[in-house]
């Protein structure tokens, strides 16, 4: 019996160098800073954070669509960064991704038939008849009909395109699916349909998800456990009830109170001071301390580590516990 997590991310780091323009010296900025967490088979792991927090970079690293500056990603116990090209190609069948912009994810020159066949052609799977059958099954599973097969992406609506992207990502029978803001560009009524679809597919095919979004309410609805990222760092991680009901990190608290709630009008908001820090010149110590109302001198000196405060609830904060679990 395997109690090992499906995906283990350990110390994953990614730095980019950018030229500063004025001087030729290149500056480094850290998009993902020493992030570690596990994803268990069958769960939906939600990853939430605002723009620039590194969640999309993390997604690409997890699938080895980008090489890391440090750290490892273990899939079923093997570090995917150690795999040679051909071995990685085989593993890729198990690790798939759905992107945010369904229009951008589809080659405008390919019709649906070609789009759906592509995974099979690339991986050299299945005879022609087997492929046709499988394609029909997949389209049915996502709610599209085979009569659409000779259409082109521009002839479909946004919701239909995203369904197509989902069907394509399931073609190779993956185990793990990353949804990188998969519903963010959709209209609200369509978003609900796709969220339900993703959950249904997970049950039907026994999938494991990493669901990335900036929308806390959606993440809460969909996920089993949730990680919060700020500026490249994982600042809090807990199962759903504990993250939302027993908030420990001041940033998570600020995020929660900033979420507009149609039924909670008039709720007082914990408005954060100033803005997102500079990428090239990050604050010393805890990366959140300049905006944190509970920051102390220690916070500006020493970066906090992610520690377990009980029951698998991880927080990276010197002052965890200060808010007594309530969102003020």
Q: Which residues pair with 15 in a beta bridge?
A: 30
Smallest distance from another protein to CB 1, Å: 28
Position among 265, 310, 311, 324 found at the interface with another protein (CB under 8 A): 265
Interaction of residue 195 with another protein, rule CB under 8 A: yes
Interaction of residue 182 with another protein, rule CB under 8 A: no
- C-beta atoms surrounding 188 within 10 Å: 7
Smallest distance from another protein to CB 36, Å: 23
| Residues 70, 45: Cα–Cα separation, whole Å | 22
Question: Which is closer to another protein, CB of 11 or CB of 206?
Answer: 206
Stretch that binds another protein, among 38-46, 131-139, 182-190, 302-310 (CB under 8 A): 182-190
Interaction of residue 113 with another protein, rule CB under 8 A: no
Position among 27, 83, 148, 172 found at the interface with another protein (CB under 8 A): 172
Question: Which is closer to another protein, CB of 51 or CB of 127?
Answer: 51
Smallest distance from another protein to CB 3, Å: 26
Interaction of residue 193 with another protein, rule CB under 8 A: yes
Angle, in degrees to the nearest 10, between helices 158-170 and 128-142: 130
- Is residue 10 classed as helix, strand or coil in its secondary structure? strand
Report in angstroms the alpha-carbon separations of 167 from 91, 145, 157, 189, 201: 19, 12, 15, 20, 10
Position among 27, 148, 259, 279 found at the interface with another protein (CB under 8 A): 259
Asked whether the beta carbons of 8 and 73 are under 8 A apart, the reply is: yes
β-bridge pairing 176-180 and 208-213: parallel
Asked whether the beta carbons of 212 and 223 are under 8 A apart, the reply is: no
Position among 263, 310, 311, 326 found at the interface with another protein (CB under 8 A): 263
Interaction of residue 106 with another protein, rule CB under 8 A: yes
- C-beta atoms surrounding 185 within 10 Å: 17
- Is residue 81 classed as helix, strand or coil in its secondary structure? helix
| Residues 100, 285: Cα–Cα separation, whole Å | 33
- Pick out residues in 39-68 that bind another protein (CB under 8 A): 50-51, 60, 63, 65
- Pick out residues in 65-104 that bind another protein (CB under 8 A): 65, 88-90, 92-93, 95-97, 99-101, 104
The torsion of the CA quartet 270, 273, 279, 282, rounded to 10 degrees, works out to -100
Position among 82, 133, 187, 204 found at the interface with another protein (CB under 8 A): 187
The DSSP call for residue 271 is P
Position among 83, 136, 141, 272 found at the interface with another protein (CB under 8 A): 272
Question: Which is nearest to 98 in space by CA: 209, 217, 242?
Answer: 209
Smallest distance from another protein to CB 189, Å: 4
- Pick out residues in 129-148 that bind another protein (CB under 8 A): none
- Pick out residues in 200-229 that bind another protein (CB under 8 A): 200, 214, 216-218, 220-221
Interaction of residue 157 with another protein, rule CB under 8 A: yes
């Amino acid at each position: 019996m395997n109690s090992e997590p499906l995906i283990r991310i350990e110390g994953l780091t990614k730095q980019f160098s950018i030229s500063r323009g004025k001087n030729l010296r290149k500056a480094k900025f850290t998009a993902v800073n020493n992030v570690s967490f596990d994803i268990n088979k069958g769960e939906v792991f939600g990853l939430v954070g605002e723009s620039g927090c590194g969640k999309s970079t993390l997604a690409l690293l997890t699938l080895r669509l980008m090489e890391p500056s440090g750290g490892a990603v273990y899939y079923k116990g093997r570090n995917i960064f150690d795999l040679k090209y051909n071995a990685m190609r085989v593993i890729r069948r198990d690790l798939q991704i759905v992107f945010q912009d369904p229009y951008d994810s589809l080659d405008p020159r390919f019709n649906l038939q070609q789009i759906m066949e592509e995974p099979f052609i690339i991986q050299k799977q299945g005879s022609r008849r087997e492929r046709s059958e499988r394609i029909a099954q997949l389209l049915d599973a996502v709610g599209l009909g085979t009569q659409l097969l000779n259409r082109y992406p521009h002839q479909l609506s946004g919701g239909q395109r995203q369904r197509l992207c989902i069907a394509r990502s399931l073609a190779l029978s993956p185990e793990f699916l990353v949804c990188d803001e998969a519903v963010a560009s959709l209209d609200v009524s369509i978003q609900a349909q796709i969220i339900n679809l993703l959950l249904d597919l997970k049950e039907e095919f026994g999938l494991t998800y990493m669901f990335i979004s900036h929308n806390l309410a959606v993440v809460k609805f969909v996920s089993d456990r949730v990680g919060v990222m700020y500026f490249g760092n994982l600042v809090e991680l807990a199962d759903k009830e504990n993250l939302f009901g027993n908030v420990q990190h001041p940033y998570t608290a600020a995020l929660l109170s900033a979420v507009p709630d149609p039924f909670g009008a008039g709720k007082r908001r914990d408005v954060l001071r100033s803005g997102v820090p500079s990428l090239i010149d990050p604050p010393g110590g805890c990366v959140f301390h300049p905006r944190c109302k509970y920051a102390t001198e220690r916070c500006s000196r020493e970066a906090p580590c992610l520690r377990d405060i009980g029951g698998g609830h991880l927080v990276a904060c010197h002052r965890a516990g200060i808010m007594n679990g309530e969102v003020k």
